[in-house]
Structure 1
Amino acid sequence: MYEQMVTARYYEERLQEEYLEGKQPAFDISAGPIPGELHLAAGQEAAAAGVCAHLRDDDTVTAPHRPHHVAIAKGVDLKRMTAEIFGRETGLCKGKGGHMHLFDPDVNFACSGIIAEGCPPAVGAALAAKKRATHDVAVAFLGEGAVSQGGFLESLNLASVHDLPIVFVVEDNDWAISMPKGRVTDVENCAQRADGFDLPGVRVDYDDAIAVYDAAADAVGRARTGNGPTLLDVQVHRRMGHFMGDAEAYRPEEDAERARRLDSIERLADDLRQRDVEDDDLDAIRRRAEERVDDAIEWAKEQPEPDPEAAYEDVFANPPENWPRRPATSTGGDD
Structure 2
Amino acid sequence: MTPVQAKEFYRSMLLARLFEERAAREYQDGHIGGFLHLYPGEEAVAVGAIQASDQGDYVVSTYREHVHALVKGISPRRIMAELFGKSEGVSGGLGGSMHIFDRSLRFFGGWAIVGETFPVAIGVGYAIRLRNDADVCLCFFGDGAVNQGTFHESLNMAGLWKLPVLFVCENNRYQIGTEIHRHSAVTDMARRASVYGIGTWKADGMDVESVFGVVRMAIEKIRRGEGPQFVECETYRFRGHSMADPSSYRPQAESAGFLLQDPLKMGIFQGCPGKDCLEIFSERCRSGNSLSEEELLSVRQEIEATIDDAVLYARDAREPGIEDLEKAWGIPLWERTSGD
Q: Give the TM-score normalised by the residue count of structure 1.
A: 0.88
Q: How much identity, in percent, do the aligned residues show?
A: 34
Match of 1:294 in 2: 308
The within-5 A match list for 1:73-222 is 73-109=71-107, 110-205=109-204, 207-222=206-221
Counterpart Cα distance in 2 of 1:216 and 1:205 = 11
Matching of residue 264 in structure 1 with residue 263 in structure 2: no
Counterpart Cα distance in 2 of 1:206 and 1:117 = 23
Structure 2 counterpart of 1:88, one-letter code: K
Cα deviation code 1:156-208 (max 9, x no counterpart): 11111111111000101111101001111122321111221011111224511
Cα deviation code 1:234-291 (max 9, x no counterpart): 0111111111131222112332346542300111112212321211111111111221
Cα deviation code 1:276-317 (max 9, x no counterpart): 121111111111122112211111111010113432322169
Structure 2 counterpart of 1:163, one-letter code: K
Cα deviation code 1:32-59 (max 9, x no counterpart): 2111110000001000011011223321
1:106 is paired with a residue of what secondary structure? helix
Identify which of 11, 14, 26 aligns with 1:6.
Answer: 14
How far is 1:77 from its partner? Answer: 2.4
Structure 1 counterpart of 2:53, one-letter code: L
Residues 296, 312 of structure 1: CA spacing in aligned structure 2 closer, same or farther, 3 A cutoff? same
Counterpart Cα distance in 2 of 1:169 and 1:180 = 19
Structure 1 counterpart of 2:16, one-letter code: A
Match of 1:69 in 2: 67
Alignment check: 8 A CA contact 1:45 1:69 kept: yes
How far is 1:228 from its partner? Answer: 1.2
2:59 is paired with a residue of what secondary structure? strand
How far is 1:103 from its partner? Answer: 0.3
Structure 1 counterpart of 2:28, one-letter code: L
Structure 2 counterpart of 1:314, one-letter code: A
Counterpart Cα distance in 1 of 2:321 and 2:140 = 34
Counterpart Cα distance in 2 of 1:262 and 1:188 = 24
Residues 51, 317 of structure 1: CA spacing in aligned structure 2 closer, same or farther, 3 A cutoff? closer
The within-5 A match list for 1:207-246 is 207-246=206-245
Long gaps (5+) in structure 1: 22-31, 319-335
Matching of residue 305 in structure 1 with residue 319 in structure 2: yes
Match of 1:46 in 2: 44
1:155 is paired with a residue of what secondary structure? helix
Counterpart Cα distance in 1 of 2:170 and 2:45 = 7
Cα RMSD, aligned residues only:
1.7
Structure 2 counterpart of 1:13, one-letter code: E
Alignment check: 8 A CA contact 2:42 2:205 kept: no
Alignment check: 8 A CA contact 1:157 1:197 kept: yes
Alignment check: 8 A CA contact 1:140 1:168 kept: yes
Max Rg structure: 1
Count of aligned pairs between the two proteins: 308
Counterpart Cα distance in 1 of 2:204 and 2:253 = 19
Identify which of 278, 290, 295 aligns with 2:292.
Answer: 278
Counterpart Cα distance in 2 of 1:101 and 1:166 = 21
Counterpart Cα distance in 2 of 1:97 and 1:3 = 27
Long gaps (5+) in structure 2: 1-8, 259-265, 268-273, 333-340
Cα deviation code 1:5-38 (max 9, x no counterpart): 00000001100110001xxxxxxxxxx2111110
Higher relative contact order (CA 8 A, sep 6+): 2
1:266 is paired with a residue of what secondary structure? helix
Counterpart Cα distance in 2 of 1:242 and 1:164 = 31
Alignment check: 8 A CA contact 1:239 1:256 kept: no
Counterpart Cα distance in 2 of 1:124 and 1:292 = 35
Counterpart Cα distance in 1 of 2:127 and 2:96 = 28
Match of 2:6 in 1: none
